[in-house]
Amino acid sequence: MYKKTVSLFLILITLSCTQQEIKEPGEQILVNIDNKVTISLNEFLRRAEYTIRPPYARDNSYLTKKVILNSLIAEKLFALEAGEDNDFLKQEEIQLFIKGRREQAMRQYMHYLEATELVRIDTAEIKKYYPYAGREYDISYFVIPDSLQSANKEILKKTPDFKSLYQQVYGDTSAPKRKVTFHNSENQVVLDALYGQDVKKNQVLQPMRIENGMLYMKVLGWKNTMAITENQVLERSKKIKEALTMNKSSVIWNKKVAEIMKGKTVSFDESTFWEITQIFYELYFSTQEKKIESIQEKIWDIEKDPEQAFQSLEDRSILNKPLLTIDGQTWTVADFRKELIRHPLVYRDRRMPARSFAKELRLAIADLIRDKYVTEEAYKKGYDKVNIVQRNERMWKDALVSVYERDKYLKSVNEKRDAGKNYISIIGDHLNSFVDSLQVKYYKKIELDFDAFENITLSTIDLYTSQRNQPFQQVVPMFPILTTDHMIEYVTKMKKEQN
């Protein structure tokens, strides 16, 4: 299985609108279900390509495309049958999760419209980085935060060598190491230092000003991948442009966010914060069978288990204690938990040493608060009304409801087998016939754009697409495990005026 990380730029690159009025991007409707809900061509492609499909829906044959189509339609039918007023959707944590999904899409679209779309990259810039863009560097690095600058003023004045400086400031024997490629360097300063000039092996670069500190870096070496064929050359130029666009749009965006946050300060109740830090620390650095990458994967990521999102802290006595104050408003730990459902924490440094955890937790909470204010601005501008935002929200809501309704149905027929191991036989014994009954109910009420459908070409490679540095990293819900049926006689040809 390949794991693919998709940038904010790549997800939204096809969108087009202006700041004065939020023009909705064009959508091609692939499926219309009883004039109540639709599936766009883009939604079909993303659901089929951005997550792992089961073995019965993995190739690119026309039959397999029909299985995928039936599965996605079945998901919508399950949700339609459940209705908007069902008990599952009434749960507060589910409502908060769906709201969080909507708000992340709003911020992403706002970023695209008000930052990414403003960036222009010329050929000269691409040529500047091209000679070195194939390098994967091995570097040693450390950051001296602003808070430590004054305490180490004399050491910094003497300008000792890289190793000595790290040892004197941090007391450790050797600085951290990591690999850097052109495409994973998200800081323009670092990009310029490593890829905007010809550096030498063992060269210590000039200290670089980054957010909240100074970055020190030593180049240990690199391996270089050459672009030889015409396609490789074009692809490298394209990726350079994408990386530069992402970095430059971040500069524009950060200025906008700074304006939104101007004058706002957050203060923590230190006693409660350290209690929370201990709880999160134990989870983050737990040594269970599967090492977790972040706390949201353990208790806050309700993409995996919505109804268990709060359970880990349910018996804690600190829920009513004040945690922080922002703009004169106090958040208790219980308030904070609700915010986490809408916005799981994102740690800036996921490879942090244990001693840095409290600082990283504080920064992650500050970023959550920042996004909360950005979201308020997005609501004021009407980003919640944009069609692709609403489609994204509906996609997640329907996916969650369909899983709930599927499991409820299986329970009603006394199905007790392990679904993870026996899903094929469970589909054959129960779900195929149930989905057939829904197809009969909606017979000829479902319209399909056959021309668009027949032109779809799918990859046969397993891809799992994630969004780095986003609260919700999973781009689309998991593939709906509902039917293996490939018959589509129940659909009718779409009237062309819909597209």
Mean pLDDT, rounded, for 327-337: 92
pLDDT of residue 203: 95
Angle between helices 270-284 and 333-342 (to 10 degrees): 50
CA 417 to CA 179: how far, in whole Å? 45
Quote the percentage of the chain above a pLDDT of 70: 86
Query: What percent of the chain is predicted at pLDDT more than 90?
Result: 64
More confident residue, 318 or 359: 359
- Residue 14: its pLDDT value, please? 44
Dump the DSSP string for 177-243: EEEEEGGG---HHHHHHHHSS---TTPBPPPEEETTEEEEEEEEEEEE----SHHHHHHHHHHHHHH
Q: What is the pLDDT of residue 6?
A: 47
**Domains along the chain?**
2-117+387-498 (no CATH), 123-260 (3.10.50), 266-381 (no CATH)
pLDDT (0 to 100) of residue 196: 92
Average pLDDT over residues 15-40: 81
Instruction: Provide the token pair at 271.
Output: 């006693």
Q: What's the mean pLDDT when you consider all of the chain?
A: 86
Say if residue 339's pLDDT is above 50. yes
Per-residue pLDDT of 136-174, as tens digits, reads 999 999 888 877 766 666 666 666 688 888 888 787 778
First to last CA, the chain: 35
CA 476 to chain centre: 9
pLDDT tops 50 at residue 2: no
Q: Tell me the two tokens of residue 281.
A: 């620390």
pLDDT of residue 499: 58
The pLDDT tens digits of the residues spanning 241-297 come to 999 999 899 999 999 999 999 999 999 999 999 988 988 887 776 633 344 443 333
What integer pLDDT is reported at residue 309 of this predicted model?
Answer: 34
Distance, CA of 168 to CA of 171 (rounded, Å): 6
Location of structure tokens 């030593």: 218
Pick 368 or 355 by higher pLDDT.
Answer: 368
CA 196 from chain center: how many Å? Answer: 29
* Over residues 45-57, mean pLDDT: 93
> Could you tell me which residues come within 8 angstroms of residue 272 by beta carbon, excluding any fewer than 6 positions away?
318, 321, 322, 323, 333
Which of 44 and 316 is assigned the larger pLDDT?
44
Within 382-413, residue ranges assigned H as helices are 387-412
